[in-house]
Amino acid sequence: MGAAGAICKMRGVEPGGNSTLVYFSCEDCAVEEARVNGAGGKVINPKMSIGEHGCIPELPQYA
């Protein structure tokens, strides 16, 4: 199946350096979000709907 990707422009985000977003598929992103919290990581935005495409949390790159 592979991983999907896209190039996009986001307000407030400068290109280069730390501007990469990685998406992965899972059954319930709240479970993966809890793993980040359990490992001492930080959740920027908790699980939120992205409409017909499902849900996502926003985590820092180092999570």
Quick one: which of 40, 36, 38 has its CA closest to 58? 36
Rounded-to-integer distance, Cα 19 and Cα 48, Å: 20
Q: Whole-model pTM above 0.85? A: no
**Residues with Cβ within 8 Å of residue 17, at least 6 apart in sequence:** none
Backbone angles phi, psi at 23, to 5 degrees: -115, 140
Q: What is the pLDDT of residues 1-46, one digit of tens each?
A: 566 667 777 787 777 766 666 777 788 888 888 888 888 888 888 8
Q: What is the pLDDT of residues 47-56, one digit of tens each?
A: 889 888 888 8
Q: Which helix (H) or strand (E) holds 49?
A: strand 45-49
Domain boundaries, the chain: 29-58
